Amino acid sequence: MMTIELEQHIDPTLIPILETVSDPEIPVLSIMDMGVVRSAQIEDDVAKITITPTYSGCPAMDVIGDDITTAFAKENIKAKVSLVLSPAWTTDWITPRGREALEKYGIAAPLNEEADKEALLGGKKIVKCPQCGSINTKMISQFGSTACKALFQCNDCLEPFDYFKCLK
Amino acid sequence: MKNENKIQYIYGIADNALILGQRLSELCGHGPNLETDIAMTNMALDLLGQTRSYYQYVAQLSGEDKTEDDIAFLRTERQYKNVLLVEQPNRHFGYVIARQFFFDAFHLLVLEELQNSTDQTLAAIAKKGIKEVSYHQRFSSDWIKRLGDGTEESHQKVQEAVDDLWRYTDELFHITDDDKIAIENEIGVNTVAFREKYDQIIREVLEEATITIPETKWFQKGGKQGIHSEHMGYLLSDLQYMQRTYPNMKW
């Protein structure tokens, strides 16, 4: 287990392969847009990839690791995937394209830290419903269908939806 | 610092997460309503994820051909170093919340200190965990207030749970010999240093929840030495069943 990887080092030629791998829980989001890939380099003909978990217990990590190995195998490249814990993943690493994909998929993208607190703790109506765009929404539960999400409901269109919690 | 001491020190932190994670997992599908059910299994997942990081590190430190699964599933009862608090059974929702509340406040304070450990792996696991555990603390504190300041029945149930679990809270601050060595080597956390802060957090929330703080000075300890309550054996038989029945099985 490798635990620290201070800066992101990604070989640009490997990006197209990495972009074919998505989060199994959120299939519209590639792992690149998710910001979980910390490094990707070819060393001695082996692609060495390090990824960082969104949450410690995120069950998607094992699947993502396997999916990366499979994606590289398709290109006849051997890949070795390891996990890094530090620096810890933050929702700031989700790319603008990733945020857009989340919204389209029906998951409200994370607000900034302060607004997130106001939404989750102060009950302030600022989380936008991804279905109808209304901000007349309410939190149903701080914990949603996965550890990274909270459950909301829109008071206008009445649809429940997930909000991706801000993690700093 | 010898690896063996460090491993024992890590057990003192990691086993709490494993055992409480197991207790919360038992509630999967049995929560009082869907939202709280999901919340508690979410917290279980966080705790088990943290446990995995600690145990992977222990496996690496042990230098033997061990895996995280061996450490989680194949130790005997006395080799688990969790506090008695986390192994207490899920009597009812109020009890689960009270147990969680007493532990979360402590857990967060531990991780906030552990992130400054000179051991970089432990510091990294702690930094990651803080983000998760602050959510847990928020959840359990909110529920303590809601139940304590709720109906007559919910108040009474939480009051009884607090009275019952209070005896296990002192052990959180018990320093073992391995803790002492870890603190001297600036790897471990001196829990005594934030005892007052802990007491204050607990007091403030309980007061807001209109819960009376127990006055008893009699406390139970032993878990950190591996001497557990009668509930632990049942918990472990459940936890270890698959690995004992089908040795080396993998998901």
Distance to chain B for A56, nearest Cα, Å: 4
Task: Write out pLDDT tens, residues B54-65.
Answer: 999 999 999 888
What angle separates helix B93-114 from helix B120-148, to the nearest 10 degrees?
150
Distance to chain B for A99, nearest Cα, Å: 21
DSSP symbol at B198:
H
| Backbone φ and ψ of A164, nearest 5° | -75, 110
Q: Which residues contact B114 (CB under 8 A, 6 or more apart)?
A: B13, B122, B123, B125, B126, B188, B189
As a dihedral over the C-alpha atoms of residue B166, residue B110, residue B140, residue B37, rounded to 10 degrees, the angle is -110
Of A4, A55, A146, the CB nearest to B132: A55
User: ipTM higher than 0.85?
Assistant: no
Residue B78 falls inside a structural domain:
yes
Domain CATH number, residue B51? 1.20.1260.10
Tell me, yes or no, if the pTM score tops 0.80. Answer: yes
Residue B131 falls inside a structural domain:
yes
| Parent domain of B177 | 3-245
Domain count, chain B: 1
Strand (E) or helix (H) holding B113: helix B93-114
Task: Write out pLDDT tens, residues A147-168.
Answer: 788 999 999 999 999 999 888 7
Q: Do B46 and A56 touch (CB under 8 A)?
A: yes
What residues of chain A lie within 8 A of the CB of B53, using their CB?
A: 1, 56, 85
Task: Write out pLDDT tens, residues B132-188.
Answer: 999 999 999 999 999 999 999 999 999 999 999 999 999 999 999 999 999 999 999
Domains (range + CATH), chain A:
9-91 (3.30.300.130), 106-164 (2.20.25)
What residues of chain B lie within 8 A of the CB of A59, using their CB?
A: 45
What residues of chain B lie within 8 A of the CB of A57, using their CB?
A: 45-50, 52
What residues of chain B lie within 8 A of the CB of A145, using their CB?
A: 38
